[in-house]
């Protein structure tokens, strides 16, 4: 019995439809239907009925335990698109290879029913409903994310797995569509790759041009999330109508708005027709020159791979563009299929990555069906009871049937683990292909070159990702690398990614109008410009930013008295100012309402006291030592000379002679040790030991004298006895500080914390 008759037998049918599968009974029923309806049946007819019933039951039981001869699957995509032309050939070749392989399906042939969706959600839904009338166990496609979202609702109700090789909308992997399986890389990973590229070159803002449908909007949502993880953002988004009615004038108006924005980094996430029209108009507006950055998603790679070489005017319009392509590891099997592809197409049609994913999708279904049969699965269908109410509506929806074991086949698909042309095919817990990776390419000349790779495992590298999977993951910024890029305008210099916008918002920067200490900040007389140390720090920091910031200084105060800094800071919270530049002290109550930058001037307690005028006259050399110290030092000189004389005069002739000579010798010897110029030699060991100690003492005296004299002659001496906070608290001398009763200076808080009560405000 064929698979179709088998499936019909398993359906939940009415009394009038039962047991009509027997060929003999069908003929008999047509001739004698009126007899059966009126309860008139001949004995001959009864015997025929019983025989047919036995034959049908016997055939049905045999099909429960054997594999069917044919398993039907569907394929739904747009035939005339760059992806569809490649996918159609790839799917047909995959079916041939599966049927020619005796190790899979083992006697059962795979039959594919290919239908055209024309990239229309309505037509795609119609074709999907027609599939459900022909006992299809799985559907490959569609290629459009919009069509996939619509058909997924049908697949969910009728429990038919839907495997898409080109629908990359990241939201399709949600729990809302349990029977939808992405057999290609999700845009969630593609947007992560774009975010890493943006962060790698130091750009902070991008402009996004996207197709305004589920595919484009959800892609931009994923891009915004990934950019936010790297402290970047989409500064401006503009949607393109998804229908074909968009024309060059609409795109011209759109790009004029884009050109007036600050960001010069543009992410283009559209379909090929719109994408090339955008590039053509951008060329006319000189938006493909120096300073601009264009990043296209993988729609561009599908065209360049399948239709290359493109016309020269088209290639000229995309020079310097970066684009991504799904990375597929190199292998002998992949190279053999490329060679086979060239023979099939005669070189008229190139093979893009979507064709490889379409080919692997067929093998994925074949392996899942084989495992399905090994587990005792039965291809059977039953009518949906909810559709009986529309039986007489003329739509014939009652012909659609539910795949009874669809969940079992879906589980086998999700648990598959095989190697195809695109590498390892295995799904993670989020139902996405493991180890996502992309090639990063750069268009130049008549073709393009690969400047690196991106993978979820190692980020941006110039080494194929499969060579890094055996090593520990390293996503550090120092490990990210790409080759040199030829940017728009035929330059190797990396664009800064921004320009001053014509309609950008200016930040309102509050600046205090100081009366004292104008070196910090002051307004130039008769102008709106400001100068000072704080202004110089601010402008220097602005120039280091990788993106433009427009601002205007707004004075605060009457110019006669120093303004209240607490009130100035509070104006930020009310929205009057966006920021404040000035010598604003960081105190506790201010940090509770706003954020401060890192301090660029150290604050602390500094005592300013008058200094004592140093004596630099003729007797200044006596200043280092006091009179008592001079007397003690002289006594030591005499005592040391006397001790050495006592130890030496009995054995050393130089210490002998008349008393007058000996006294002179003692005095001379002791004084000459100060400069190490003594002429007398010591012979006694004990005298030498005393002399050694004395020479060390003389060295210390010389050093202290020299240092003290230098300090006296070069450094002013403070006359204040205040050395720190403790001596300040003990002192009752008045201490002045600059400020006012409303200044909010931290010195005011010091009065309360340290208990110092004798501060006095001395400056306004």
* Distance from C-alpha of 103 to C-alpha of 378, rounded to nearest angstrom: 20
Question: What pLDDT, on a 0 to 100 scale, did the predictor assign at position 151?
Answer: 86
Residue 657: how many CB atoms within 10 A of its CB? 12
Rounded mean pLDDT, 569-597: 85
pLDDT value at residue 386: 63
pLDDT for res 223: 96
pLDDT reading at 357 higher than 80: yes
What pLDDT was estimated at residue 33? 39
Which three-class secondary structure state does DSSP give residue 4? helix
State how far the Cα of 756 lies from the Cα of 725, in Å rounded to an integer: 9
- For the chain, give the mean pLDDT: 80
Q: Identify the band that residue 66 occupies on the pLDDT scale cut at 50, 70 and 90.
A: low
CB half-sphere exposure, 280, CA atoms < 13 A? 15
What percent of the chain is modeled with pLDDT above 90? 39
Token pair belonging to 67: 């594999």
Of 317-331, 609-623, 675-689, the one with minimum mean pLDDT is 609-623
Omega into 142 within 30° of 0, i.e. cis?
Answer: yes
Over residues 171-190, mean pLDDT:
90
pLDDT at residue number 184? 93
pLDDT band at residue 726 using 50, 70 and 90 as cut-offs: confident
Cα separation values, 633 from 177, 628, 677, 692, 697, Å? 100, 9, 18, 17, 10
Residue 365 predicted with pLDDT over 90: yes
Residue 73's closest CA among 133, 126, 137? 137
Segment 699-704 mean pLDDT? 82
Which pair of structure tokens corresponds to residue 312? 């020269």
pLDDT at 662 over 80: no
Q: For residue 35, is pLDDT > 50?
A: no
Q: Pick the more confident residue, 95 or 37.
A: 95
The arithmetic mean of pLDDT across residues 73-96, rounded, is 91
The residue-averaged pLDDT of 50-66 equals: 41
Q: Which two tokens stand for residue 578?
A: 């966006």
Please give the share of the chain, as a percent, with pLDDT higher than 70: 78
- What pLDDT is attached to residue 688? 78
> 515 falls in which pLDDT band (50, 70, 90)?
confident
Task: Find all residues with CB under 8 Å of 392, minimum gap 6, and list them.
Answer: none
DSSP state of 12: -
Hey, which of 417-426, 608-617, 691-700 has the most confident mean pLDDT?
417-426
165-176 tens-digit pLDDT? 999 999 887 788
Q: Is the peptide bond before 309 cis (omega within 30 degrees of 0)?
A: yes
Q: Quick check: pTM over 0.75?
A: no
Average pLDDT over residues 685-692: 79
Given this model, what pLDDT does residue 85 score?
A: 92
* Number of neighbouring beta carbons within 10 Å of residue 355: 30
pLDDT band, very low/low/confident/very high, at 282 (cuts 50, 70, 90): very high
279 neighbors 317 (Cβ within 8 angstroms): yes
Which of 45-59, 529-543, 607-621 reaches the highest mean pLDDT? 529-543
Tokens representing 8? 């019909």
- Strands of 128-221, DSSP E: 139-140, 162-164, 180-182, 205-211
75 phi and psi, to 5 degrees? Answer: -140, 130
pLDDT mean over 346-365: 93
The pLDDT of residue 755: 57
Region class of 24: left (phi > 0), else alpha (psi between -120 and 50), else beta: alpha
Q: Is the pLDDT of residue 565 over 60?
A: yes
Cα 82 to Cα 90: distance, rounded to the nearest angstrom: 13
Exposed (0-12), middle (13-18) or buried (19+): which is 346, by Cβ within 10 Å?
exposed
pLDDT score of 94 = 95
pLDDT at 536 over 70: yes
* Overall size of the chain counted in residues: 764
Residue 300 in this model has a pLDDT that exceeds 90: yes
- pLDDT value, residue 62: 34
Q: Which of 264-268, 478-482, 554-558, 600-604 has the lowest mean pLDDT?
A: 600-604
Model confidence band, residue 693 (pLDDT cutoffs 50, 70, 90): confident
Which range of 327-341, 464-478, 656-670 scores highest in mean pLDDT? It is 327-341
Q: CA-CA distances (angstroms) from residue 89 to 80, 85, 208, 340, 730?
A: 12, 7, 34, 12, 95
> Which of 44-53, 487-496, 747-756 has the weakest average pLDDT?
44-53
- d(CA 160, CA 401) in angstroms, rounded, equals 10
Q: Which pLDDT score is estimated for 632?
A: 82
**Residue 118 vs residue 437, higher pLDDT:** 437
d(CA 615, CA 713): 8
Kindly report the backbone phi and psi dihedral angles of residue 521, in degrees, each rounded to the nearest multiple of 5, phi listed first.
Answer: -160, 135
**508 or 395, higher pLDDT:** 508
Q: Residue 163 has what pLDDT? A: 94
62-76, 95-109, 287-301, 520-534: which has the minimum mean pLDDT?
62-76
Name residue 439's beta-bridge partners. 325, 453
Confidence of residue 111 (pLDDT cuts 50, 70, 90): very high
- In DSSP notation, 678-690 reads --PPP--HHHHHH
d(CA 562, CA 558): 8
What are the pLDDT digits (tens) for 127-169?
777 776 778 899 998 888 888 888 888 888 889 999 999 999 9
Residue 465 confidence (pLDDT) above 90: yes
């Amino acid at each position: 019995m064929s698979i179709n008759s088998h499936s019909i037998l398993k359906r939940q049918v009415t009394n009038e439809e039962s047991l009509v599968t027997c060929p003999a009974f069908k003929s008999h029923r047509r001739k004698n239907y009126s007899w059966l309806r009126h309860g008139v049946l001949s004995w001959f007819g009864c015997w025929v009925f019983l025989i047919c019933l036995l034959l049908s039951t016997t055939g049905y039981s045999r099909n429960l335990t054997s594999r069917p001869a044919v398993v039907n699957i569907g394929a739904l995509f747009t035939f005339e698109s760059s992806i569809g032309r490649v996918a159609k050939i790839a799917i047909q070749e995959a079916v041939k290879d599966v049927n020619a392989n005796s190790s899979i399906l083992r006697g059962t042939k795979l039959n594919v029913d290919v239908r055209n969706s024309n990239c229309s959600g309505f037509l795609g839904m119609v074709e999907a409903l027609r599939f459900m009338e022909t006992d299809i166990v799985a559907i490959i496609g569609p290629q459009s994310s919009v069509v996939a979202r619509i058909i997924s609702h049908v697949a969910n109700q009728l429990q038919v797995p839907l495997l898409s090789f080109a629908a990359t909308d990241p939201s399709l992997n949600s729990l809302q569509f349990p029977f939808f399986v992405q057999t290609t890389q999700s845009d969630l990973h593609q947007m992560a790759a774009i975010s890493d590229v943006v962060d790698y070159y130091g750009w902070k803002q991008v402009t996004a041009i996207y197709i305004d449908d589920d595919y484009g909007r959800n892609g931009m949502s994923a891009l915004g999330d990934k950019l936010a993880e790297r402290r970047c953002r989409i500064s401006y988004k503009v949607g393109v109508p998804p229908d074909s009615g968009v024309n060059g004038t609409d795109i011209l108006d759109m790009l004029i708005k884009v050109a007036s924005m600050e960001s010069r980094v543009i992410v283009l996430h559209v379909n090929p027709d719109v994408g090339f029209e955008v590039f053509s108009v951008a060329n006319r507006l000189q938006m493909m020159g120096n300073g601009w950055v264009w990043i296209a998603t993988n729609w561009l790679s599908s065209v360049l791979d399948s239709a290359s070489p493109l016309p020269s005017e088209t290639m000229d319009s995309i020079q310097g563009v970066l684009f991504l392509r799904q990375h597929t590891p190199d292998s002998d099997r992949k190279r053999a299929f490329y060679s086979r592809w060239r023979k099939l197409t005669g070189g008229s049609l190139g093979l893009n990555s979507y064709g490889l994913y379409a080919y692997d999708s067929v093998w994925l279904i074949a392996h899942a069906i084989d495992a399905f049969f090994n587990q005792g699965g039965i291809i059977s269908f039953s009518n949906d009871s909810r559709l009986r109410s529309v039986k007489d509506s003329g739509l014939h929806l009652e012909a659609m049937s539910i795949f009874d074991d669809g969940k079992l086949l879906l589980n086998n698909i999700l648990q598959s683990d095989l190697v195809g042309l695109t590498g390892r095919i295995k799904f993670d817990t989020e139902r996405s292909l493991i180890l996502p990776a992309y090639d990063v390419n750069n268009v130049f000349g008549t073709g393009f070159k690969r400047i690196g790779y991106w993978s979820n495992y190692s980020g941006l590298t110039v080494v194929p990702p499969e060579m890094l999977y055996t090593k520990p993951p390293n996503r550090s910024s120092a490990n990210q690398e790409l080759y040199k890029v030829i940017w728009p305008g035929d330059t190797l210099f990396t664009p800064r990614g921004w320009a001053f916008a014509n309609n950008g918002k200016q930040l309102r920067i509050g600046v205090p109008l100081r009366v004292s200490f104008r070196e910090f900040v002051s307004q130039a007389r008769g102008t709106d410009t400001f100068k000072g140390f704080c202004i110089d720090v601010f402008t220097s920091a602005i120039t280091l930013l990788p993106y433009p910031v427009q601002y205007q200084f707004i004075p605060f105060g009457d110019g006669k008295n120093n303004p209240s800094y607490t009130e100035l800071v509070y104006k930020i919270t009310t929205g009057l100012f966006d920021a404040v530049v000035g010598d604003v002290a960081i105190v506790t109550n201010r940090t509770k309402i706003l954020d401060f930058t890192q301090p660029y001037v150290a604050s602390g307690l500094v005592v300013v006291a008058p200094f004592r005028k140093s004596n630099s006259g003729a007797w200044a050399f006596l200043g280092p030592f006091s009179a008592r110290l001079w007397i003690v030092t002289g006594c030591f000189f005499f005592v040391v000379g006397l001790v050495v004389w006592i130890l030496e005069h009995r054995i050393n002739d130089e210490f002998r002679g008349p008393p007058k000579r000996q006294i002179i010798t003692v005095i001379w010897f002791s004084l000459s040790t100060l400069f190490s110029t003594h002429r007398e030699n010591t012979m006694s060991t004990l005298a030498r030991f005393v002399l050694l100690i004395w020479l060390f003492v003389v060295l210390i005296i010389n050093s202290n004298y020299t240092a003290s004299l230098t300090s006296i002659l070069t450094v002013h001496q403070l006359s204040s006895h205040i050395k720190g906070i403790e001596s300040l608290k003990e002192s009752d001398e008045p201490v002045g500080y600059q400020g006012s009763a409303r200044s909010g200076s931290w010195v005011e808080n010091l009065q309360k914390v340290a208990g110092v009560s004798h501060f006095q405000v001395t400056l306004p």
